[in-house]
Amino acid sequence: MGNVKSSSLGYPRIGEKREWKKNLEQLWAGEQTEEAFLAKQKQLRLSYLQTQVEAGLDYVPVGDFSDYDHVLDTAVSFGLVPDRFAYNGGKVSVSTYFEIARGAKNAVAAEMTKWFNTNYHYIVPELNAREPQLVHNRWLELFEEAKSELGVTGKPVILGPITFVKLAKQYGKKTLAEHVQKLLPLYGKVFDQLTDAGATLIQVDEPVLTGDVTEADWLLFEEVYRYFEENHASANLLLQTYFEAVTDFSRFLNLPTAGAGIDCVAANQKGIEQLQKIAIPENKIIALGILDGRNIWRSDLVQLFKTVNNVQSTLNEENGQTLILQPSCSLLHVPVSLKHETKIFPELKDALAFANEKLVELDQLKEVINGNVNEAVLKESIQAVEGLNQSSSRNNEGVQALLHERKQEDSKRSVNAQARFDLQKEKLKLPLLPTTTIGSFPQTKEVRKQRLLWRKGELSNEAYSQYINAEIERWIQIQEKIGLDVLVHGEFERTDMVEFFGEKLAGFQFSTNGWVQSYGSRCVKPPIIYGDVAFQEEMTVKETVFAQSKTEKPVKGMLTGPVTIYNWSFPRTDLAEEDVVNQIALALEKEVLALEKAGIGVIQVDEPALREGLPLKKDDWKAYLDQSVKAFQLSVKSVQAETQIHTHMCYSDFQDIIESIDALDADVISIEMSRSHGELISSFEHYTYDKGIGLGVYDIHSPRVPSEEEMIQNIQRALKVLDQKRFWVNPDCGLKTRQEPETVAALEAMVRATTKVRHTI
């Protein structure tokens, strides 16, 4: 076989020390000019390209960099700006770009939702009456920048037209195909300009091909890419997929494109198996996603070498078939570098690979495949993986025995929901339409400063505890003054809703700088689940009990659920997903019982990530949902009937999984609805939900304070399909990222709106 090349689908935006995040937030805070912001963005962008060049990539992605979100980038490049932002054509300004993402004083932000089954959020395009136009060829601009500044002929990355439209809101009377057809000449113009500028390969991302693709979808794909072949033949398009296997692999490979990119990691080698069974078209580039782009484990290069050799045996160089090695998806989903990780113990650190290390692995694998075999490198990769697998942390006999025992039992609570409702009503004595929040309150610079001083050892445990208690007491008083019915302690001691618990459970490790982008400038630092998970000590009892001692109103205990902890971590891959999730559930159960024993009668076990973990193909949903429901039930099954269990979920199409939500058997569930503009209420029009429910009445991801009237309309709309005796009023998510004045003003408006609605029913 000829020379195998290497490529990447995309690179993390945030920087090794979150420089990108800081740059955005300085602009938003008015601490720097737009010109200074853009200059820093360019500096970061070029440094990322240089890193990838130095790592040995043959095809360096350009255009994957974004100032906020790549889907939003695509929309504004084609002038698709919602009418409420008073856009008058031409290149979209920086201020308008961020208003679409974050909202403006008189315009709500565009909807935000999960990017397939990841924890990344994208801004949902709105396809209204506005005709798309190519108002800014950002891909050409970034391609030429890389070429002129660094001498790099990059591989432009663009979101494909069918995936773009499928991810959008399709307003108006146009069909999916009609919206796509409007975009084709614009995409064609982009391709032509890139080709004229010297681009030899253009990556076109169409990840919707890994979901459930209908016959109509296939016909549309064939029509669209035949159009590009016939009208823009000089453009070499690499049709890229990721996150799962393509169902009809032969049909995919025979689409008229120069290359086909497949994810061989998430697809569990299905792509490789399919490659070996079908005839590959002549002159086809096969881009093999062979390194895990969504997890942080080091690769077994010996095993990958064998896998790639098997693929090579199916290709015929004389027929023009060539091979590119690459990660399974964009490296957006993993941290940047292990360089700054000094606190991870050596046995684990040796088994890890962040984005930069994955690029090194990719280059090593390419060299081995191309005949430059380095036995030491191969041996080292095997030893790193095996060393961790054989460690005591992955062989905890007590945890494994308990897991086996509890998996055999019924995971449901012993008292039914109606009986529990009656008992809890008598105990809690809450008013009609009880008000509450989701859990967290604003984490000010001072809160973060005090926590950092404590973590550095510059603030004593006693002093830090006194500071946290003072914040808790202050916010208990604020909540009572506002008039909320069920209070929370505010979570000031927590950096992140998953990280906090992972730090206290056995089997977890934390990085110092292992940040990844969640949405906008919001970054999270996922824990690493490396061993068997076990309860070690009470995690939330002290702060919750202190808060409860300061009020006569009920205070919710706040936990993150097992499915969310799993989905928002980097999980171990040597153990079945179900077993890891259930280990977490059994550890959390002990914390739930500790809260109950301490007198906390309302406990919220959040599962915001339950739906995002759904497999992309519906045939695989049932197994995942059954597994998730059982894990949640295991975490709360042993509490008394009088203890009210809440849960919370974010950004989901709930009509698809409403039966599983019901099966969780939570006494109260709160659900985001504000950014979906109440659309999910339709989920309950044809399904009788007989438990407590709160549909978020305002959007916390936008800094604007909603009016009472907006929230009254949201409450009244929900009450048309939901039982008023079981309806709760709350924001749509936690308030950690908001400022205090806007938080108080919004909650005051929410309580006033609720009071007015109570008087009408």
Rounded distance between C-alpha atoms, residue 280 and residue 444, angstroms:
57
Q: Are 290 and 264 in contact (CB under 8 A)?
A: yes
**In angstroms, what CA-CA distances link 350 with 353, 354, 381?**
8, 11, 9
Taking Cα atoms as reference points, which of 47, 38, 134, 49 lies closest to residue 90? 134
Ordered DSSP codes for 215-254: HHHHHHHHHHHHHHHHH-TTS-EEEE--SS--SSHHHHHT
Token pair recorded at residue 421: 């409702």
Q: Which residues are annotated as a binding site?
A: 18-21, 114, 438-440, 491, 522-523, 568, 606, 612, 648, 650, 672, 733
Of the CA atoms within 13 Å of residue 421, those in its CB half-sphere come to 14
316 neighbors 489 (Cβ within 8 angstroms): no
Crossing angle of helices 176-196 and 138-150, in 10° steps, is: 20
Per the DSSP assignment, residues forming a β-bridge with 560 are 606
Inter-residue contact 637 to 589 (CB < 8 Å): yes
In whole angstroms, give the CA distance from residue 321 to residue 586: 51
CA dihedral 221, 226, 229, 235 (to 10 degrees): -10
Residue 114: beta bridge partners? 121
Annotated binding site for 5-methyltetrahydropteroyltri-L-glutamate: 18-21, 114, 522-523, 568, 612
CA proximity to 336, closest of 358, 315, 317: 358
Phi, psi of 684, rounded to the nearest 5 degrees: -100, 0
The percent of the chain in helix, strand and coil, each rounded to the nearest 5, is 45, 15, 40
Alpha-carbon distances, residue 222 vs 166, 183, 193, 219, 258 (angstroms)? 16, 16, 23, 5, 14
Half-sphere exposure of 49 (CA within 13 A, CB side): 28
* Element housing 384 (H / E): helix 375-389
Catalytic residue chosen out of the listed positions 179, 333, 489, 701 = 701
What is the C-alpha separation between 84 and 107, in angstroms, rounded? 6
- Do 91 and 137 touch, CB atoms closer than 8 A? no
Cβ-contact 577, 625 below 8 angstroms: no
- Annotation: binding site for L-homocysteine: 438-440, 491, 606
**Binding site members for Zn(2+):** 648, 650, 672, 733
Cβ 479 vs Cβ 748: under 8 Å: no
Contact status, residue 562 vs residue 631, Cβ threshold 8 Å: yes
179 is an active site residue: no
Q: Which residue has the tokens 């970054």?
A: 523
Q: Locate 405 and state its tokens.
A: 């025992």
Distance CA 362, CA 325 (A): 7
In angstroms, the CA 131 to CA 152 distance is: 35
* Residue 676 CB partners (closer than 8 Å, separation 6+): 111, 113, 651
Specify the residue for token string 């500044």: 149
Which tokens go with 519? 């949405």
Positions annotated as catalytic residues are: 701
